[in-house]
Amino acid sequence: MFSKLIAPAFAVLAAISILVDAARTHNGHTTADRPKIVPFPYTTGKKFYDSPRRTRHCFVDALGNGQDDSDNILAAAKSCNNGGTIALLDDLYLIGKALDLTFLNHVDFDIQGTLKFIPDVAYWEANSFKFTFQGANTMILFGGEDINIFGSGKGTIDGSGQTWWDGYATNSSIYRPMMVGVSGMKGGTWSGLKMQNPPNWFQWVTDSNDIIYDNMNLQVFSMNKNSPKNTDGWDSYRSDNIIVQNSVVNNTDDCFSWKPNSTNIVVQNNQCTGSHGMSIGSLGQYQGVYDLVENVLIYNTTMTNVGSAARIKVYPDVNPNVPNNGASGGGIGMVNNITYDGMHINSADWAIELTQCYGQSNQTICSAYPSKLVITDVMFKNFDGVASKKYDPKVATLVCSSPLVCQCIHTKNINVKPPSGKPAQHVCKNLYRGFLEGLNCVDS
């Protein structure tokens, strides 16, 4: 065993130390063992990466006194790439630069302190990583092969969202970034981390596969009257073979949102509070673009004080008499083989919300221009709990734009009650009611 201080090109990099195992302590801190993450009780049926043991540690010492630690974190990632662990063990690290960590290969991040993004609105608006879909942009990007990021119940990533929410209150065009981007990650785990107060979505997962999230804690809280905005927990896009399990989300938007071309995903044993739902979509937003969400299981979820619990949202076709600009419907594709099993509801406006009229409030217009995106083979089963009073006695709404593009929708054992104690009602339109076991269907 030996310890060697890197001879840096810049003095700031003297805050990095590399120790070849088996050293496990640094400046009074002890590194954590990478947890063994196992999908349970369900998995996707596809393979996940079996990470080999890492052989060295790169310790990053926080500079303190309000100084930016970004350069040191990036340097450590490069130094410990290909078989090492980047250890962030101090109490607070400040990130003031966009970090592109998409070059990673066989590395771990041991995060025991807080990584806090400096709330420099002008900088992040100009320098965040931009994506074309729905204006997505992120402050940091992780990508590569075989990456494990763990917090051992102590590590935190803080997006300093309050500054952005305050700015949005007076300027709704402020370009709020997502906090963490996962782009091109092929195999890895995220576990034991707390994430809090993103400016926008917590996590944007794109063009990635074979990833497990376990024991994550996502929280938003405002210090004044300006509430958090669009704080989705996870948004997946063009990604395959993902599991999210044993996690807690307290936010103000979708708990998990399956965006286009999300396949083979299991979300299980999670708790969501304040969210818009476990949401397939929105899909079909871009005219002529093919969207697919397929092979998804949502199992054993507790939904508390939510707008919707189980949600599928698809745009209708476009009205040729109304300008569309290519981004308000008319997409094609399919939602296929989706199962919501075990939703435990403590106040939801809708226990189930299925719509092919997303973005179109006029049902007559929606029926005149039905969705081109097919929804098929969906099961909602084993729901219990109490809805909110918002639509009492209605507790669910399943509204298709046409029975030709909305088929094989099943329900079973739906036992969600309205708070009034009246018999529950369920809005059902343009779908075969023979598969809706136990629903008391009404037209509106």
The four Cα atoms 103, 203, 241, 306 give a dihedral, to 10 degrees, of 180
Enumerate residues 6+ apart whose C-beta is below 8 A from 281. 257, 258, 259, 293, 311, 312, 313, 314, 335, 358
Instruction: Tell me which of 404 and 18 has the higher pLDDT.
Output: 404
Phi, psi of 368 (to 5 degrees): -70, -30
pLDDT per position as a tens digit, 49-103: 899 999 999 999 999 999 999 999 999 999 999 999 999 999 999 999 999 999 9
Q: Cis omega before residue 198 (within 30°)?
A: no
Residue of 143, 188, 157, 180 lying closest to 35 (CA atoms) = 188
Task: Pull the structure tokens for residue 231.
Answer: 């704080």
Q: How far apart are CA 347 and CA 271, in angstroms?
A: 13
Q: What is the pLDDT of residues 205-243, one digit of tens each?
A: 999 999 999 999 999 999 999 999 999 999 999 999 999
pLDDT at residue 2 greater than cutoff 80: no
Terminal C-alpha separation, the chain: 72
Contacts of the segment 75-82: beta carbons below 8 A, 24+ positions apart = 75/6, 75/8, 75/13, 75/16, 76/16, 77/101, 77/103, 77/104, 77/107, 78/103, 79/6, 79/16, 79/18, 80/18, 80/56, 80/107, 81/105, 81/106, 81/107, 82/106, 82/107
pLDDT digits (tens, 9 = 90+) for 184-210: 999 999 999 999 999 999 999 999 999
Q: Which of 276, 344, 410, 426 is catalytic?
A: 276
Instruction: Please choose, from the candidates 84, 112, 110, the residue with its C-alpha nearest in 3D space to the C-alpha of residue 20.
Output: 84
Residue 27 DSSP one-character state: T
- Tokens 């009074």 sit on residue: 28
- Once rounded to an integer, what is the mean pLDDT over residues 320-333? 83
> Which residue in the block uniquely carries the two structure tokens 């809805």?
387
Domain assignments of the chain as residue spans, ordered by start: 276-444
Residue 106 is among the residues annotated as catalytic for this protein: no
The two tokens of residue 373 are 């995106």
Task: Look at the domain 276-444 and name its fold.
Answer: Pectate Lyase C-like (2.160.20)
Q: Which of 153, 147, 137 is nearest to 193 (CA)?
A: 153
Tokens of 434: 């023979």
Backbone angles phi, psi at 314, to 5 degrees: -130, 140
- What is the model's pLDDT at position 21? 62
Residue from 396, 412, 251, 271 nearest 344 by CA: 271
Q: Average pLDDT in the 298-306 region? A: 98
pLDDT in tens, 380-431: 999 999 999 999 999 999 999 999 999 999 999 999 999 999 999 999 999 9
- Range in 4-13, 124-133, 137-146, 289-298 with the lowest mean pLDDT: 4-13
- Give the residue among 307, 309, 258 at the shortest CA–CA distance from 280: 258
Q: What is the pLDDT of residue 326?
A: 67
Q: What is the pLDDT of residue 321?
A: 82
